[in-house]
Amino acid sequence: MHQHDLSDWQHEHVFDAGSAAAEKGTRRVMWITAAMMVIEIVAGWWYNSMALLADGWHMSSHAVAIGLSAFAYSAARRYAKDPRFAFGTWKMEVLGGFASAVFLLMVAGMMVYSSLERLLSPQPIYYQEAMIIAALGLVVNIVCALILGHAHDHHGHHGHHHGHDHAHHDEPAHGHEHHAHYHDLNLKSAYIHVIADAATSVLAIAALAGGWLYGWSWLDPVMGLAGAVLVAIWAKGLIIETAKVLLDREMDHPLVEQIRAELQQDTGAGDTRVTDLHVWRVGQASYACALTLVTHDLGLTPKRARQLLAKHQGLAHATIEVHYCDDARHIRMKPTQKKWQAFGHD
C-alpha cells in the first residue's frame, strides 16, 4: 500500500493552537512584577513594614510563577508538532498553572509564619513611606491585570477539530454542541497571582493606615494573616482545577453522556451498546475518546460511528472498536474485525 493511500486516515495531533497574546502578556507581566518585587522588598525592609514585606515576598513568588506560565506557553508552542507527545503539548500550559498554584500555597504559608513572628515581636513601622510603596504596588498590579485581561480577550480557541472523523467530508459538523466557556488555566493562574498581589497591597494599605491614624500596630501582621488565608483559598481552587485536567478527570462532562446516547440506541437493525468509554481533554475545548461498541447492526462500522459523532465539534480524536453479535449472549467477530479493532476505522 502506498503512503498516499493512507492520507485519509492520518492527521497531525495539534489539538490546541495556544495563544500568542497570552504568551506575550504573561512575559510582560513577569518583568513588571519582578521590578516591583525588588522595590517592595527593599522598601519593606527599610521602613520595617511586615505587610509591605509580605507583599514583596508574595510578589517574588509571583514573578517566578508568572515566569513559569510564560515558559509553559513557549514550550507548548515549540514542541507542538513533536510526535513524541501523543496528544499534543497543551497540558504543558496546564502544568504551568499547577506549578503557579503550588507557589501560591507556599507563599501563603510564608505569610502566616512572618505575620505570627511580627505579632509576637512588634517592630516600629514608618507608616507614611510604607503606604506610598504599597500604593505603587497596587497601581502596578492593576496595570498587570489589565494586560492579562487584554490577552484573555484576544485568546481565540483555534483547536483543530479533525480527529474523530477522518472521512469528515461525508457529514458536516453541526448539531448540539456545548457553548461552555473554557478557561485558559495557565493564563488564569497568572491572573490570580496578579489579583492576589493587588489584594495583598490593599490589605497592606489598610493596615498601615490603621497603624498610622490610630496606633494599631497589631493591624499590620493581622492583615498579613488575612492575606495569607485569601491566597490559600485561591491556590486551593486553582490546584483542584489544574489537577482535574492533568489527571484526566473528565468522565462527568456532558459530552460523555452525549456520546453514549448518540451510539447506544436501537437502529432498527438491532440494539447497540457502549461497553467501554474513555473521554479526556486534549485542549481547552477539545476532547479525545476511546470506545467499544457491541451491536447487532452489521451496518454500524467505525466509519459510521464517526459520522454519528461528527456533530460534536469538541471531539477532536476518537478510537472506535466494534463487536458484532448474533444475540445478547453470543458475540461473533467478523474476519475483518481485527483490523477495525487495531486501527479504529474501515
The whole model's pTM is what? 0.70
The C-alpha atoms of residue 68 and residue 183 are separated, in whole angstroms, by 18
The CATH number that applies at residue 68 is: 1.20.1510.10
Domain assignment present for residue 1? The answer is no
- Show the domain range for 46: 9-246
Q: Based on the domain organization, do 224 and 79 belong to the same domain?
A: yes
What pLDDT score does 98 carry?
A: 92
**Residue 158 pLDDT more than 60?**
no
Q: What cell was used for 326?
A: 448474533
**Residue 277 pLDDT more than 90?**
yes
Model confidence at 152, in pLDDT bands (50, 70, 90)? Answer: low
Q: Which has more pLDDT, 7 or 27? A: 27
| Lowest mean pLDDT, pick from 18-32, 87-101, 143-157, 290-304 | 143-157
Q: Based on the domain organization, do 178 and 302 belong to the same domain?
A: no
The C-alpha atoms of residue 80 and residue 18 are separated, in whole angstroms, by 9
Number of domains in the chain: 2
Instruction: Quote the mean pLDDT of the chain.
Output: 76
Q: Give alpha helix (H) positions in the chain.
A: 20-47, 50-78, 90-120, 127-153, 185-214, 219-246, 254-263, 302-309, 337-343
The C-alpha atoms of residue 123 and residue 112 are separated, in whole angstroms, by 17
Give every CB contact of residue 237 below 8 A, 6+ residues apart in sequence. none
Q: What cell was used for 29?
A: 507581566
**Residue 157 pLDDT more than 90?**
no
The C-alpha atoms of residue 52 and residue 224 are separated, in whole angstroms, by 9
Closest CA to 69 of 288, 237, 242: 242
Q: Based on the domain organization, do 149 and 88 belong to the same domain?
A: yes
The CATH number that applies at residue 286 is: 3.30.70
SS3 for 293?
strand
Report percent pLDDT > 70 for the chain.
75
Buried-state track 292-316, b at ≥16 Cβ within 10 A, e below 16: bbbbbbeebbbbbbbbbbbbbbbbb
Distances (CA, A) of 304 to 65, 172, 270, 317: 47, 13, 15, 15
Q: pLDDT tens digits for 9-57? A: 545 555 555 566 777 888 888 888 888 888 878 877 787 776 667 667 7
Q: Based on the domain organization, do 205 and 280 belong to the same domain?
A: no
**Residue 164 pLDDT more than 50?**
no
Q: Based on the domain organization, do 208 and 334 belong to the same domain?
A: no
The pairing of strands 287-295 and 330-332 is: unpaired
The C-alpha atoms of residue 17 and residue 76 are separated, in whole angstroms, by 9
